[in-house]
Structure 1
C-alpha cells in the first residue's frame, strides 16, 4: 500500500441483475472500465456498494471477485468492521483479508456509539488491533451508521499503533482536513490519506493528501484521475482551478438519488449497469434524468478541454 500522491480510488457501486442479485459479469466490466480510466486503486464493499444491503457472504464474494478481476494491477481495500462486538468485527476483518485485499477498512462509527466519547473509540480500536495480528488496516469516516469524524488528536493516537495504512476522510471542512494532514506530516507516516469530498480536491491535494476517493468517480473517473494528477502541476493551475469550479458546481446534483444516479449515468456511458438498487427504492424522476443527461453533455465538454478521450468513446 505505497502512498504515492496523485491517486484516484473509486468507491465502487454494485450492479444488480433483474432479481436484485449481484451481477458479477457487470462487476467485471466495471472494473475494466475503471482501470482503463486510469484509477490507481479500488475501494470495494463500501457505502456506494450498498454494503449495508448485502449479506455477509455477498460482501465477501463481491470483494473477492473485484480482487480477482484487478489481479494485482492496483491495490484493493474493503470494509471489514461488521459484527455486534469488537471480537465479531475482528473475525470478519480476518475473513475480508482472506479475500486477497491489500487492507481492511474500519468504519469509525462502528467503534463507539454516537453518545460515547473518544476514550471508548480508542479502547475499542486498541482491542481490534490486538485481535487482528498484522493485517493492514484503514479507517473510513462513513456516513452510516452515523458519521464519526476523527479529531486530529484521536487521529494522531491511532497512527501510533503502526497498523494504519489507509484513511478515507469525510471531514468536508478545510480546517479538519488540514489538521489531520498536518498530523501526518509531523508523524512522517506513510498512511494514504484520501479525501471523499470532491469540492476539496485542489485544497487537499495541494496540502499533501495522497489522493481522492469520491462518489464523483462513479460518473467520470477519467476527469478525477486528471484532477489528482495535475492538482500540483504548476503548468495546469488555471485549468485545474476551472475544473474544480465545474466539479463543485455539479456535486450536489450527483448526490441526489445516489447510487441510482450513478447507475443511470454509467448506463448512459454504455456500461451494463441497470438502474436497480437495494439502498434506493425509487426510480429517478424525469427531472433527475434530465439533469443527468445535461451533466453527461457537460462531462464531454470537460474531456474536450482537458484532451481526455472518454472511456468507451
Structure 2
C-alpha cells in the first residue's frame, strides 16, 4: 500500500486577521507540488479554536472546492456543547464535501472521566450521524486523550471509523493500536515525526505531522522510501535529522511555520490568532538554520524543492 503524507493545514490570515482564502489556494498548490496525498483542514494547526463556527465551515468548504477531488480532504467536526450540538456540526462539516469528519477524543469525556463514558458518548454520536464517514484525532486541546488499543478496538467494531490521527508519541502505543486494526479501509496516521520510520514500517497508512508545514517534500520522501531496503541508510539519516529539529519547530507554532514558509518564498503573513507574540530574533535565527539544513537534506536525497505557486 502506498504510504501517504497528509498535512495538517495552517490558516493564513490577512492584515485584518481574517482568513486569506487566496493564500489558502497558494498553500494547497504548494502542498500538492510537494507530493502530499490528502489534506487535514480545520485542525489545531488551522487555529480551529481561534476561528468562528462560520469560519470553520467557510475554510473547509473552500479547501474542498479548490482541491476539487485531486486528493481526499478531512476536517474536524466535533464542536458544540452537547452531543446533539456536535452531531449537528458534524453534519454541517460533512455537507462541505469532505471525505471524512474527524472527532476529537478530548471532546467526548472530561479529563477525569473513564473510558466507559468516552465510549458511550462516541456510540451516541454514531447513532446521530447516520452513515457519515468518521475519524478520530487525539488532539492536544482541550486536553490530549490518548486512546488505548482496547478502546480503539471497541470503537472500530462499530464499523463507522475510517481514519485515526495518533498523537501518543510512543512507538509501543502505536504498535499496540496497529495490532487491533483489521479493516483495510481504516487509515492510521502518526502525528509524531520522530516516530515516522517505525510507524510506517509497522503498517501506518502514512504521516500527518506539523513538520509538513515546513518541509512537506521530506515527509513525502520518507513515506515513499521508509520500507525500501535500498534506501535504508538515507532513511535512517533523515529520520535522525528530523528528530533533531522537531522540538525546535514546535516553538511558537504555528507562527514558526508561517515564518519558515516565508523563508521558502511563500508570502504567507506571520499573523496568527493562536500565537499572538512576535517571533524573537533568536527564534528566527534557529528557523533560518533549519532552512539551510532543509536545503542540504534535499541535495543529499535528490529532492526537488516545491516552488511557491506564484513562481510556477
Instruction: Name the counterpart of 2:305.
Output: 310
- The 5 A counterparts of 1:1-313 are 4-184=1-181, 187-312=182-307
The CA deviation string for residues 33-57 of structure 1, in whole angstroms up to 9 with x for no partner, is 0000000000000000000001000
CA distance in 2, matches of 1:111, 1:225: 32
Superposed displacement of residue 5, structure 1: 3.8
Q: Is the 8 A contact 1:137 1:164 kept in 2?
A: yes
Superposed displacement of residue 189, structure 1: 4.2
CA distance in 2, matches of 1:36, 1:196: 21
> What's the Cα RMSD here?
0.8
Q: Is the 8 A contact 1:181 1:207 kept in 2?
A: yes
TM-score by length of 1: 0.97
Structure 2 CA distance for partners of 1:169 and 1:5, relative to 1, 3 Å: farther
The CA deviation string for residues 235-278 of structure 1, in whole angstroms up to 9 with x for no partner, is 11110000000000000000000000000001111112000000
Q: Is the 8 A contact 1:24 1:65 kept in 2?
A: yes
Q: Is the 8 A contact 1:206 1:232 kept in 2?
A: yes
Unpaired segments ≥5 residues, structure 2: none
Superposed displacement of residue 18, structure 1: 0.5
CA distance in 1, matches of 2:60, 2:265: 23
The CA deviation string for residues 255-309 of structure 1, in whole angstroms up to 9 with x for no partner, is 0000000000011111120000000010000000000101101000000011111
Q: Is the 8 A contact 2:33 2:307 kept in 1?
A: no
Q: Is the 8 A contact 1:5 1:208 kept in 2?
A: no
The CA deviation string for residues 107-127 of structure 1, in whole angstroms up to 9 with x for no partner, is 000000000000100000000
TM-score by length of 2: 0.98
Equivalences, count: 308
Runs of 4+ in structure 1 deviating by more than 3 angstroms, as ranges, are none
Structure 2 CA distance for partners of 1:156 and 1:5, relative to 1, 3 Å: farther
Report the secondary structure of 1:166's partner residue: strand
Report the secondary structure of 2:202's partner residue: coil
